A and B are shown apart, each in its own frame.
Chain A
Amino acid sequence: MPIISEHVHVERKPKLGGGGPGKIPHKRGYGGGDDGDHDRSKDFSSRKERLRRYRIGILLCIISVSTLFICLTLAYVFRQNLGTWDPIHRQWIRDWRALTLPYRQLWINTLILLLSSFTLEMARRKMAHQAEFAALGIVPIKGRAEVPWLGLTVLLGFGFLAGQVVVWNGFRSQGLFLHNNPSSSFFFILTGMHAIHLTGGLLALLYAAGGRLLKLRFDSQILAVDATASYWHFMGGLWLYIFGLLYFLKG
């Protein structure tokens, strides 16, 4: 976790970033972030406090998602060792058939996801720097070429999802669906649940990236990016875990 500097929160409004002159009060009163009915977010809490709150919230969210996947893992291991009793031949038949994973595509997806983690981290740092400069009253030079890290992350995120769809389609063309075998069931469930959770993070990133259109305050934009970054890195780690599980416990 990077250091959160207190002096970013100043009376002078940052004049850049999403929402244009950063001081646009939302027409219904709130400035983004989860401030509910409270129309002045800085009264409810300073940016630093909000950031800490969000980080705890995201941490708890991560714990909850981890629990879900731990349970799916337990079910995976449990189901792998089950089977059917064949009364005619008097033997126990394990019905789990190992999948042959499309490693090339999976590795490409993994690389895309890890790369997106990197670009998101860059986006987060850039925004934090911008906020610090803005706090000092330094406005970035207009027209200077900048890497659109946030946009890149969103693209890479969609790229990962597209890669997963390619993997799923590959299985489907082999005639492997959700119901064929417990191994394919678990493959689709694990990757599918991961994709659903990743989409949640992607929506949050889109929300942050569309700050200009949504008239988000710069503060709220940073918050959204910062909170999503932790979640996104976790999604990357979770993907590595799922990949490892599918690889090492093929059955």
Chain B
Amino acid sequence: MLKRFPSAATTPSKLLLRRYIFTSDHKMIGIQYFFLSLAAVLVGTWLSLLMRIHLVWPHGRIPLVGEIKPENYLGLLTMHGTLMVFFVLSTVPQNGFGTYFLPLQLGASEMAFPRLNMAGFWTALASFFVLLAAFFVPGGASIAGWTQYAPLSAIRAAGPGQGIGTDLWLVSIGLFCLSSVMSAINFVTTTVKQRTPGMRWMRMPLPCWSWFVTAILSLLAFSVLLAALILLLLDRNAGTNFFVPAGLIVSGQAVNHSGGSPLLWQHLFWFFGHPEVYIAILPAMGITSHLLSVFSRKPVFGYRAMVGATIAIGALGFMVWGHHMFVSGMNPYEGFAFSTLTTAIAVPSAIKVFNWLGTIYGGKLQFSTPMLFSIGFVSLFIAGGLTGPFLAQPSLDMYLHDTYFVVAHFHLIMAMAGIFAVFSATYFWFPKMFGRMMSERLGAIHFWFTLAGAYAIFMPMHLLGVAGHPRRYSELTGVQYVAAMAPLQKFITFAAVITICGQLVFLFNLFWSMFRGRRAEANPWVCTTLEWTLPSPTPAAGFAGRVPVVNRGPYEYSVPGSTADFVAQDAPATQEG
């Protein structure tokens, strides 16, 4: 059993470029992904700010930007969605923290394929730049939404952004697919092959489990999206007929396509798109489970059930894509099947929520910033998740689908919950990544501000949706029943502006702590998992040839009879261990 396990003893390169930029060191690549996402989230947030202001003052002139035209609004909408879904929610929880901490938590010093890892990052970076380039081409960014529904996405005449902007979008996301597949191959192989002796499957920390399941989802889902993107690119550029039906007249011109079906695009897209939602949220769930246990000083409640629920959510995620298409005129029997399966996802999700509550119940809670954000995650996950079963009913979805209700639902459960997990992971692992602590005081301020802001922005949107306010429109002046909702819209915009300004506290805390924060000891949060047995920040050589031997499960907190209130995973085995 105790075979020699590979680990790299290396000296970091003396060349700064090779050490920090062109490196295949998983820790540095993790940090590179982190900053890529930070850049993406700043751009994406700026776009959302512009949209919110435009919704309330449609003809207002914004400094530096000027007046936003309706088609520009759609461009902002598309780019906001794309940046946030692909480059933030699918990137930082999985590729950012996963690339950094998966090998360390498993007791390995490197990913299975370091240079593939590097190639994945550089492809993602190229994809990011190609996407942003769309702002600077004639016609501007694509206006078809992050879902790029055909036929409008397939026809160049459909709008100003539907020319080069959309081609760039497709190429960018195609590159992102390649990057995700490369990274997924690495994650799965690392989890299967690089576990240190004694790190059995059921001794893996829960973030590792969710990174593993997410990688499998990425592997399958992004291949599907790539196939769809290729077909759409050919429809646009080679005159094929997959997604555009005959007899369309767009922008006053007859469209030279026939025989295709927009439904084909929707099926292919959502067969990727729904697993994508879980690609975004599963790592967040894993991180939250981990942190709730650490800061309650209690083992995770129902570890096996958590693992099972993670796998179940991943598997069910591939069977429910049709619930995004209830309004597409699908056969009611088909809708019923998708509705039933969708409701079934509530079961593993409820298991998770129950176990999170079970984990903190009766624990010695420590309300550090990571813990606050984890509790915030659970709160937002419940608040956003409860509207899921509503939308899973075809009859209700018919009414709510194109309203702000859906915007509220997915922003709470995916965007806000996801970003809360990212915040908690940042505050939690910052000492290991940068060797210093982030300010707890600023962290607490940031948390309360963001929690209040998240609810203030997205709770009223449910009301807008129920009242029938349609989404995606840039301007609805003159529509009577919508005009009555203007004060609520104004409130949301004010809340958004204030909440976004509140994030400056986080940015300040991040960069200030990176250079001026209190120096962190090796294990500041007194955790059991292997990354905390290394000094902070993690030395370039990782475990430096040492092979950690795991004797225990990942969540041995408050073990009866133990002197400390935690037992590290590589602590010597005892009689019962």
A-side interface residues toward B, CB under 8 Å?
A: 34-40, 43-46, 49, 52-53, 56-57, 60-61, 63-65, 67-69, 71-72, 74-75, 78-79, 82-85, 95, 178-179, 182, 185, 189, 193
Contact B189 A60 (CB under 8 A): yes
Cβ-defined partner of B189 (8 Å) among A56, A72, A182: A56
Contact B110 A179 (CB under 8 A): no
Enumerate 9 A-B pairs (CB-CB under 8 Å) in ascending A order.
A35-B115, A43-B545, A57-B112, A57-B186, A78-B261, A79-B259, A95-B241, A178-B239, A179-B238
Contact B268 A63 (CB under 8 A): no
CB distance from B395 to the nearest CB of A (A): 27
Contact A57 B113 (CB under 8 A): yes
* B124 close to chain A: CB less than 8 A: no
Cβ-defined partner of B259 (8 Å) among A36, A65, A71, A84: A84
Interface readout for B123-143 with A: 1 if CB under 8 Å, 0 if not? 000000000000000000000
Contact B226 A68 (CB under 8 A): yes
Contact B231 A75 (CB under 8 A): yes
* B8 close to chain A: CB less than 8 A: yes
Contact B189 A53 (CB under 8 A): yes
Contact B220 A64 (CB under 8 A): yes
The residues of B that contact A34 with a CB separation of less than 8 Å are 113-116
Contact B226 A182 (CB under 8 A): no
A74-B113 Cα distance, complex, nearest whole Å: 32
| Chain B residue nearest to A81 in the complex (CB) | B261
| Chain A residue nearest to B116 in the complex (CB) | A34
A78-B261 Cα distance, complex, nearest whole Å: 9
The residues of B that contact A63 with a CB separation of less than 8 Å are 219-220
The residues of A that contact B118 with a CB separation of less than 8 Å are 36
* B240 close to chain A: CB less than 8 A: yes
A197-B189 Cα distance, complex, nearest whole Å: 21
CB distance from A74 to the nearest CB of B (A): 8
The residues of B that contact A78 with a CB separation of less than 8 Å are 261, 264, 267
| Chain B residue nearest to A86 in the complex (CB) | B246
Contact B230 A84 (CB under 8 A): no
* B6 close to chain A: CB less than 8 A: yes
The residues of A that contact B222 with a CB separation of less than 8 Å are 64
CB distance from A91 to the nearest CB of B (A): 13
A64-B187 Cα distance, complex, nearest whole Å: 14
| Chain B residue nearest to A30 in the complex (CB) | B115
Report which residue of B9, B227, B260 has the largest number of chain A beta carbons within 10 angstroms of its beta carbon. B227
CB distance from A175 to the nearest CB of B (A): 14
| Chain A residue nearest to B258 in the complex (CB) | A84
* B234 close to chain A: CB less than 8 A: yes
Contact A53 B112 (CB under 8 A): yes
Contact B219 A64 (CB under 8 A): yes
Cβ-defined partner of B10 (8 Å) among A39, A61, A69: A39
| Chain A residue nearest to B192 in the complex (CB) | A56
Contact B264 A75 (CB under 8 A): yes
CB distance from A193 to the nearest CB of B (A): 7
B residues 272-304 in Cβ contact with A at 8 Å: none
Contact B227 A60 (CB under 8 A): no
B residues 216-234 in Cβ contact with A at 8 Å: 219-220, 222-224, 226-228, 230-231, 234
Contact A68 B13 (CB under 8 A): no
CB distance from A220 to the nearest CB of B (A): 12
A163-B268 Cα distance, complex, nearest whole Å: 32
A39-B186 Cα distance, complex, nearest whole Å: 20
| Chain A residue nearest to B263 in the complex (CB) | A78
Given contacts A34-B114, A34-B116, A79-B260, contact A52 B193 (CB under 8 A): yes
B-side interface residues toward A, CB under 8 Å?
A: 4, 6-10, 13, 18, 23-25, 110, 112-118, 181, 184-186, 188-189, 192-193, 219-220, 222-224, 226-228, 230-231, 234, 238-242, 245-247, 258-261, 264, 267-268, 271, 545
Contact B188 A60 (CB under 8 A): yes
The residues of A that contact B271 with a CB separation of less than 8 Å are 71
Contact B193 A38 (CB under 8 A): no
CB distance from B7 to the nearest CB of A (A): 7
A182-B246 Cα distance, complex, nearest whole Å: 14
The residues of A that contact B110 with a CB separation of less than 8 Å are 36, 38, 44
The residues of A that contact B241 with a CB separation of less than 8 Å are 95, 179, 182, 185
The residues of A that contact B238 with a CB separation of less than 8 Å are 178-179
Given contacts A71-B223, A75-B242, contact A185 B193 (CB under 8 A): no
The residues of A that contact B239 with a CB separation of less than 8 Å are 178-179
The residues of A that contact B23 with a CB separation of less than 8 Å are 37
A159-B247 Cα distance, complex, nearest whole Å: 44
The residues of B that contact A52 with a CB separation of less than 8 Å are 193
A28-B522 Cα distance, complex, nearest whole Å: 33
The residues of A that contact B113 with a CB separation of less than 8 Å are 34, 53, 57
The residues of A that contact B240 with a CB separation of less than 8 Å are 178-179, 182, 185
A74-B116 Cα distance, complex, nearest whole Å: 30
The residues of B that contact A193 with a CB separation of less than 8 Å are 230
CB distance from A83 to the nearest CB of B (A): 6
A131-B247 Cα distance, complex, nearest whole Å: 65
The residues of A that contact B267 with a CB separation of less than 8 Å are 74, 78
Contact A37 B13 (CB under 8 A): yes
A68-B224 Cα distance, complex, nearest whole Å: 6
Contact B114 A71 (CB under 8 A): no
Cβ-defined partner of B6 (8 Å) among A44, A57, A68: A44
A52-B267 Cα distance, complex, nearest whole Å: 36
Given contacts A64-B181, A84-B258, A182-B241, contact A38 B8 (CB under 8 A): yes
The residues of B that contact A45 with a CB separation of less than 8 Å are 6
A130-B504 Cα distance, complex, nearest whole Å: 63
CB distance from B491 to the nearest CB of A (A): 44
Cβ-defined partner of A44 (8 Å) among B7, B185, B220: B7
A37-B260 Cα distance, complex, nearest whole Å: 49
Contact B259 A35 (CB under 8 A): no
